[in-house]
Structure 1
Amino acid sequence: MKKFLTLALAAVLAAGMMAGCGPAAPSNSSSAPADGSAASDAAPAPTGDTIKIGVLAPLTGSVSTYGTAVKNGLEMAKEEINAAGGILGKQVELLIEDEKGDVTEATNAYNKLLSQGIVALIGDVTSQPSNAVAQLAADPSDGTPMLTPTGTAANITLNGSNIFRTCFLDPFQGQIMATFASEKLGTKSAAIMYNSSSDYSQGVADAFKTTAEAKGMTVVSYEAYGDADTDFKSQLTNVVAANPDVLFLPDYYEKLALITAQARDAGFQGPMLGADGWDGVLAQLGDNTAVVDGCYFSNHYFVDDTDEKVATFVSNYEGKYNGEVPNAFAALGYDSLYIMKQAIEAAGSTDKAAITSALQAVSYSGVTGDMTFDENGDPIKKVAIIKLQDGAVTLDSKM
């Protein structure tokens, strides 16, 4: 849920991968603009000339880079929407709270947002705070529609029918990468190394293993390590001895820079595969990027995708944020506000139950792809498969 592009979504996810440009007739299908034009029971009913949407994100603390990226994407979308007339003829007001990556801070901040009269929530960013807040929002006495851009843990949306997410789930990445290995790479055997201290890493690893075996692959080595480990000789000795076709590594880019280099030193020369936590590994490797040549990972979007919506988003984001390349957190934040815009317009009001019903019927085409929501509020969308070669990333395929 859980690192990306220049920063990366996976660490975040584990620490705790929309309508037109102006007011429109209610619709169940929309997309982001291609041109880029510019406390529970006592919560007050929405009034005034703005539509208040709450935002929870870690803007300080150890995962602040992720929260900042989501916030940047949201604020760019808000400026575009307001410049085009707002939502239902009203300007959008984002009420943003820094929850510092902490569960208690997140729940307190959420109650504060409720007291300020929000009609919907976009957040949280990481999985544990997202799940804690989802439990509050799903209470029948509350019912605030909640859309987490980047919380990937499966249990978040299971809290209630008013809880949704823009990113895909952790297990889905494992399933997709096992399918890619089998169908695109012709893999017959795989080794897996996972971080036993990380729900993200273990969840993706388990999903990969289950899908790989279902597709006829043999998992020849299943190795665990701890979050504090920096020497992986023991695990890699077992991997190399098992002689797998591929090595699956679902972790974050800081740890992956160590493991991938040590894997090559240990004699493993096959492809290494991973999930969105790989985003950022090239920068972490510095001059040693050759160790990940021929490797692949899944992500929520690809920054150099030729799709017009992606190209326009990237260009506008770089222009607004001093040349900073938007990572997937930023793209998911951007899409999330357009999804919420579409739902409010389809509802024709700021009634929370009506917005929830409209979200359930969303059909959206945005920067991170075309999507609808399933019965659990999880997106049905394609995954970008990214290839690493010669110190660069390219889009291999979408699955």
Structure 2
Amino acid sequence: MKKLLAMALATVIAAGMFTGCAPKPAESSADSAGTNNTESSAPASGEAIKLGVLAPLTGEVSVYGVAAKNGIELAVEEINKAGGVLGSQLELMIEDEKGDVSEAVNGYNKLMSKGMVALLGDVTSKPTMAVAELAAADGLPMITATGTALPITTYGPNVFRTCFTDPFQGRIMAKFAAENLKAKNVAIVYNTSDDYSTGLVAAFEEMAASKGVTIVAKEGYGADDKDFKAQLTKIAAAKPDALFVPDYYTKVALIATQAREVGFTGPMLGADGWDGVLGTLDEANQSVVNGCYISNHYSAQDTDAKVAGFVKAYTEKYGETPNAFAALGYDTAYMMAQAITNAGNTDAQAIVDAMKAIEFDGVTGHITFDADNNPIKDATILKLMDGAANFDSKVAAE
């Protein structure tokens, strides 16, 4: 996804993403060259297996890209230390796409020209959709760790994702509001110009209706807005039991602060785009998100040995608790390594077939893929309180 959050949301994640159609990207390097770089077999002795990585390492959504890249790098370091894949070391080729579609397309073409065998990326949804169209045309195995927009995997049978989708998160949070919070009336405030936000809202409303939850207020805002008090004042007047805020952490920090200022005291609900909100808020102001709940992909507090080992290794290497994007990046690299191992070579179609049939146990759970190359797994619900994102519950999709 457009997205698709520092973790706990600094301690764990609390983690983007999007729906809609991406603009028609530029011609891929494989098309322009008249060749397909994905046609390869077992690597030559001593030859590295090249994996491309696209991520926003600078810019507005860099917190997501850096975390995902760090998780991928940690996994590859471990894999190579253990002997690599098919007798070869994995080599990461990383391009910073700055959260921009054109930069992502350019980065993809650079990676193709360097002979990547598979793509790990992109991170947020619009760039991911742009490169998914190119990867589909090239037949290149591609898996996004964090792109949650529903259309991403529809571009081709060779495109996968590790995270769950925006609609899945929207349904999960509506189900959680109804069944766990016993909410009867809910309000929504969302970005009307953002695919991630609108996609989550549509799924939330559909599930809320099926659970007998009434949407008592629904207010929109623009991408560049920073003052939300008019919308939030109307919402507070409707006295909802909860407020759904499906956006990214920078906007969420502003909305949560202003919601408390206008008198809304109830829980706010969000998705993985909230990851990073605790790090964005001043420590003295973190209480504005106390009692808020978000869907995410894992919890750093999980006592599972695989999770604990990952958290320890990541913290030692990077000096911070890994958020969900880091965990998803880590699982993505390991999953691609397993697919290549199971394929027995680096032929593109063999890797795709192996990925479709994969049974993978990772930090973010047990993963298999459905017919649309979306993962089948549960969602973790985190509760924000006193500057930490704490494990609350697990919720399965319906």
TM-score, length-scaled by structure 1? 0.88
Larger mean Cα displacement after TM superposition, 190-199 or 262-271: 262-271
Report the alpha carbon displacement of residue 97 of structure 1 after superposing the two structures with TM: 2.1
Say if 2:362 is the partner of 1:360.
no
Name the counterpart of 1:20: none
Which residue identity is paired with 1:238? K
User: Residues 201-247 of structure 1: CA distance to partner in whole angstroms, max 9, x if unpaired?
Assistant: 12112211111011111111111112222322221222122221111
Name the counterpart of 1:200: 196
For residues 254 and 213 of structure 1, the distance between their equivalents in structure 2, rounded to whole angstroms, comes to 29
Contact 1:191 1:244 in 2 (8 A): yes
For residues 351 and 45 of structure 1, the distance between their equivalents in structure 2, rounded to whole angstroms, comes to 5
For residues 343 and 110 of structure 2, the distance between their equivalents in structure 1, rounded to whole angstroms, comes to 25
For residues 154 and 249 of structure 1, the distance between their equivalents in structure 2, rounded to whole angstroms, comes to 19
Report the alpha carbon displacement of residue 300 of structure 1 after superposing the two structures with TM: 1.5
Name the counterpart of 2:50: 52
Contact 2:243 2:266 in 1 (8 A): yes
Name the counterpart of 2:172: 176
Query: Across the two proteins, how many residue pairs are aligned to each other?
Result: 374
Which residue identity is paired with 2:120? I
Which residue identity is paired with 1:349? N
Compared CA separation, residues 391 and 56, structure 1 to 2 (3 A): closer
Report the alpha carbon displacement of residue 265 of structure 1 after superposing the two structures with TM: 2.6
Name the counterpart of 1:345: 341
For residues 351 and 208 of structure 2, the distance between their equivalents in structure 1, rounded to whole angstroms, comes to 39
Contact 1:4 1:277 in 2 (8 A): no
Compared CA separation, residues 196 and 7, structure 1 to 2 (3 A): same
Report the alpha carbon displacement of residue 11 of structure 1 after superposing the two structures with TM: 9.1
- Out of 363, 382, 386, the position equivalent to 1:386 is 382
Structure 2, unmatched stretches of 5+, are 23-28
Which secondary structure state, in structure 2, belongs to the residue aligned with residue 138 of structure 1?
helix
Structure 1, unmatched stretches of 5+, are 17-38
- Out of 70, 73, 82, the position equivalent to 2:71 is 73
Identity of aligned residues (%): 60
Contact 1:7 1:65 in 2 (8 A): no
Which secondary structure state, in structure 1, belongs to the residue aligned with residue 17 of structure 2?
helix
Larger mean Cα displacement after TM superposition, 58-67 or 247-256: 58-67
For residues 120 and 278 of structure 1, the distance between their equivalents in structure 2, rounded to whole angstroms, comes to 29
Matches for 1:37-116 after TM superposition, within 5 Å: 39-40=29-30, 41=35, 43=37, 45=40, 47-48=43-44, 49=46, 50-116=48-114
Which secondary structure state, in structure 2, belongs to the residue aligned with residue 181 of structure 1?
helix
Say if 2:371 is the partner of 1:375.
yes
User: Residues 158-179 of structure 1: CA distance to partner in whole angstroms, max 9, x if unpaired?
Assistant: 0010000111111111100000
Larger mean Cα displacement after TM superposition, 259-268 or 202-211: 259-268
Matches for 1:181-330 after TM superposition, within 5 Å: 181-286=177-282, 287-321=284-318, 323-330=319-326
Compared CA separation, residues 233 and 42, structure 1 to 2 (3 A): closer
Compared CA separation, residues 271 and 42, structure 1 to 2 (3 A): closer
Name the counterpart of 1:150: 146
Name the counterpart of 1:123: 121
TM-score, length-scaled by structure 2? 0.88
For residues 101 and 237 of structure 2, the distance between their equivalents in structure 1, rounded to whole angstroms, comes to 43
Report the alpha carbon displacement of residue 389 of structure 1 after superposing the two structures with TM: 2.0
Say if 2:14 is the partner of 1:13.
no
Which residue identity is paired with 2:305? E
Report the alpha carbon displacement of residue 105 of structure 1 after superposing the two structures with TM: 2.5
Compared CA separation, residues 255 and 62, structure 1 to 2 (3 A): closer
Say if 2:320 is the partner of 1:333.
no
Which residue identity is paired with 1:148? T
